Amino acid sequence: MVYMILTGLLCGGLLGFVMQRGRFCLTGGFRDMYIAKDNRMFYALLVAIAVQSVGVFSLIHFGVIEFFAGSFSWLAVIIGSFLFGIGIIFAGGCATGTWYRAGEGLLGSWIALFGYMFMSAVMRTGVLAPVDASLKKVEAPTNSIAESTGIPVGVLIILFVSIVGFVVYKEMKKPKVAIPSMKPRRTGLAHILFEKRWHPFVTAVLVGLIAILAWPLSAATGRMFGLGITAPSANILQFAISGDMSFINWGVFLVLGILLGSYLAAKGSREFRFRMPDAKTGMTSFLGGNLMGFGASLAGGCSIGNGLVMTAMMTWQGWVSLLFIMLGTWTASYFVFIRPQTKKKGAVAKEAVTA
């Protein structure tokens, strides 16, 4: 139990610290792809996937861990991932982003987090559990891309890493945009950790390495998986209600560690402060959190469990989920950001003509 607590908090703390300081926000990244045509955060996600894929399959090759892709509940993944993508726009952050932003003192994220935990628990053991189970019965025979295509997983990884390497090379060759910054107030390690702007690709490499570390640490406690947010979040609420110790596993301490790591990073960089949302934002955050919980439970993972981990494992679940999370994000972004601006511009133009 002590090992579980310490290693879970350590891994989660590292992840929370890195994501907070590196602003590794997949919600903003997917949104910016659509609105601002800025793909840097998406490319950073691909870097993290590539790093993890090489590391984890190396661990599998040397017998450190085991992994079985299982079947692919394609209908549940498509519906759940699309709804999750919509939810993260309303919540103002994905599952992991909500945890680390809660650590910054953002009370709207606490509201979204409660909605996320609540609906995840309802989907797992509550009144919606039959809906979850029914949709997951629609399966493809295999979840492994290698098994489906006949291409060895090593070849898939080499191809993927090569593509990501080329994308990173092209991105790094682009002219640098000078960003004004204040004179540094710190020096040495303190400046690097708490003040210096982190490059998205550096952050992505660190996230990928932490994702690799999560596998053997988690496996040592009997949990054969890497980073995961949805089930542990539900477990916390279920344990709080029932007191059943069976809900406590390594993943619970992982997500609590994210909160702690983010808090330490925010305090160290002087970014921590309590911010209370207005009533409308609070309601929207709660709605978004519930959509996230419903969608992630149905899809078998969130933007981390599916979009980072299951993609790295070269599964259909991971890549199909990532695609539909992005489509859900773009759909919500249109109705939340693009359409209101378009209507506003149209109204202004109409007033100018009639004036």
Instruction: Give residue 345's pLDDT.
Output: 75
Nearest 5°: phi and psi at 140? -90, 155
From CA 216, how far away is CA 203, in angstroms rounded? 21
pLDDT band at 349 (very low <50, low <70, confident <90, very high): low
One DSSP character per residue, 21-81 reads HHT--HHHHHHHHHHT---HHHHHHHHHHHHHHHHHHHHHHTTS-------B-HHHHHHHH
Percent of the chain with pLDDT over 90: 85
- Give yes or no for residue 351 having a pLDDT over 80: no
pLDDT tens for 3-57 read 999 999 999 999 999 999 999 989 989 999 999 999 999 999 999 999 999 999 9
Task: Find the range with the poorest average confidence among 165-169, 181-185, 263-267.
Answer: 181-185
pLDDT tens for 96-107 read 999 999 999 999
Tokens of 329: 């994000």
User: Could you tell me which of 189, 244, 146 has the C-alpha nearest to residue 21?
Assistant: 189
pLDDT band at 179 (very low <50, low <70, confident <90, very high): low
In a domain, 228, yes or no: yes
Instruction: Give residue 355's pLDDT.
Output: 60
In a domain, 325, yes or no: yes
Instruction: Give residue 177's pLDDT.
Output: 67
In a domain, 177, yes or no: no
What burial letters (b/e) apply to 98-113, b meaning 16+ CB within 10 Å? bbbbbbbbbbbbbbbb
Tokens of 252: 């619970």
Q: Structural domain tally of the chain?
A: 1
- Give yes or no for residue 145 having a pLDDT over 70: yes
Instruction: Give residue 187's pLDDT.
Output: 80
Q: Which residues pair with 315 in a beta bridge?
A: 144
Nearby residues of 124 by Cβ (< 8 Å), 6 or more positions away: 132, 231, 234, 238, 297
pLDDT tens for 42-86 read 999 999 999 999 999 999 999 999 999 999 999 999 999 999 999
Average pLDDT, stretch 219-224? Answer: 94
In a domain, 181, yes or no: no
In a domain, 183, yes or no: no
Instruction: Give residue 185's pLDDT.
Output: 80
Q: What is the pTM of this model?
A: 0.94
Instruction: Give residue 189's pLDDT.
Output: 87
Average pLDDT, the chain: 93
In a domain, 235, yes or no: yes
Q: Do residues 87 and 329 make contact, with C-beta atoms less than 8 angstroms apart?
A: no
One DSSP character per residue, 328-341 reads HHHHHHIIIIIHHH
Instruction: Give residue 184's pLDDT.
Output: 80
In a domain, 35, yes or no: yes
Q: Do residues 288 and 98 make contact, with C-beta atoms less than 8 angstroms apart?
A: no
Average pLDDT, stretch 158-182? Answer: 87
**Higher-pLDDT residue of 151, 182:** 151
Q: Do residues 27 and 94 make contact, with C-beta atoms less than 8 angstroms apart?
A: yes
From CA 159, how far away is CA 165, in angstroms rounded? 10
- Give yes or no for residue 205 having a pLDDT over 80: yes
In a domain, 179, yes or no: no
Tell me 245's DSSP state. G
pLDDT band at 192 (very low <50, low <70, confident <90, very high): confident
Nearby residues of 197 by Cβ (< 8 Å), 6 or more positions away: 179, 181
Percent of the chain with pLDDT over 70: 96
Q: Do residues 297 and 76 make contact, with C-beta atoms less than 8 angstroms apart?
A: no
What burial letters (b/e) apply to 245-267, b meaning 16+ CB within 10 Å? eebbbbbbbbbbbbbbbbbbbbe
From CA 184, how far away is CA 145, in angstroms rounded? 48
Tell me the residue range of the domain where 259 lies. 2-169+189-354
Instruction: Give residue 181's pLDDT.
Output: 67
**Higher-pLDDT residue of 317, 342:** 317
